[in-house]
Amino acid sequence: MSLERNKDNGITIINSNIVKLTDDKWEEKVQKWVQECSKLVTACTPTFKEIEQYLLEQCEALPLTANDNRMNNFQLDVIMTHCKDKLENQASEFSFDMTEEEREKWCVEENAMRQEAMNSSPEQFGFNIRGYYLPHTQRNEVFYEQAYQELQKMMKHTNEDYKQVKMSDFCFFFEETTGHYEFNGGGCSLKNQLIVFMGVSEADIERHSQRFMGYIAALHDMGNLPNFIEDK
């Protein structure tokens, strides 16, 4: 599910069913839909090993090494999201009112934090990180073809040939302790399958957490949850 703002300031939700909402009704309709979805879904949180097994059953995936740059970037995201206060290097709070000198100092501090996060051992923070990539094999061809079809829709108003675009390897990352995950591969049905299989906890449902929002969006895109109420 993705969002676009129209010229008339309305909102369009882009998925298999397109629904247009005006700004003044947006918040009300979203909240009503989210509340309804929270009553329809059931908590389910498989183990780390079960998630890995499910992924390997759905496609041909190979593990990424710990020093792979893609793994380092995911580790950076996990640490900066969940425990950046544990890093030795700390950056001051960013403000648009900073002077040029203060902004340059902040950039140096922020870069030092990011480098430390990328180069640290995940075990140092109690993390267990896994990463897999999907090689361009015959078994995985269906997922890459789905992504090309999505790309074709996006490029239909350009003169570029979408088939000439080199598709990067799809990657799936997961951290056991926090449940933080990432799937690089837009337009691929495998992404929604994994998000749904990983499920949500009771706490996610009650808090309407980011994981819950991603979960109901995936279920919606797969046709397993009702659509927004359309304007009459």
pLDDT value of residue 107: 95
Residue 4 has pLDDT above 80, yes or no: no
Distance of CA 229 to the CA centre of its chain: 25
DSSP 8-state assignment for residue 195: H
Which whole-number Å values give the CA distances from 21 to 31, 206, 208, 217, 232, in the listed order? 13, 26, 21, 17, 11
CB 127 within 8 A of CB 178: yes
Strands, sheet with 129-134, edge to edge from the N-terminal-most edge strand: 62-63, 129-134, 170-175, 181-184
What pLDDT is stored for residue 81 in this prediction? 94
Output the pLDDT for position 26.
Answer: 74
This prediction's pTM: 0.78
The yes-or-no verdict on residue 192 having pLDDT over 50 is yes
The two tokens of residue 74 are 């995911």
Q: Are 225 and 40 in contact (CB under 8 A)?
A: yes
Q: How many CA atoms lie within 13 A of 22 on its CB side?
A: 5
Angle between helical axes of 141-154 and 189-198 (0-180°, round to 10): 110
Predicted local distance difference test score (pLDDT) of residue 29: 84
Cα-based angle 101, 104, 108 (whole degrees, multiple of 5): 140
The confidence score (pLDDT) of residue 16 equals 43
Nearby residues of 225 by Cβ (< 8 Å), 6 or more positions away? 37, 40, 41, 216, 219
Asked whether the beta carbons of 149 and 187 are under 8 A apart, the reply is yes
Residue-level pLDDT at 80 = 95
With residue 134 as reference, give the H or E element that holds it. Answer: strand 129-134
Report the pLDDT averaged over residues 153-170.
Answer: 70
Please tell me the least confidently modeled range out of 110-124, 156-170, 193-207.
Answer: 156-170
**pLDDT tens, 73-103?**
999 999 999 999 999 999 999 999 999 999 9
Mean pLDDT of the region 94-116: 94
Phi, psi of 107 (to 5 degrees): -60, -40
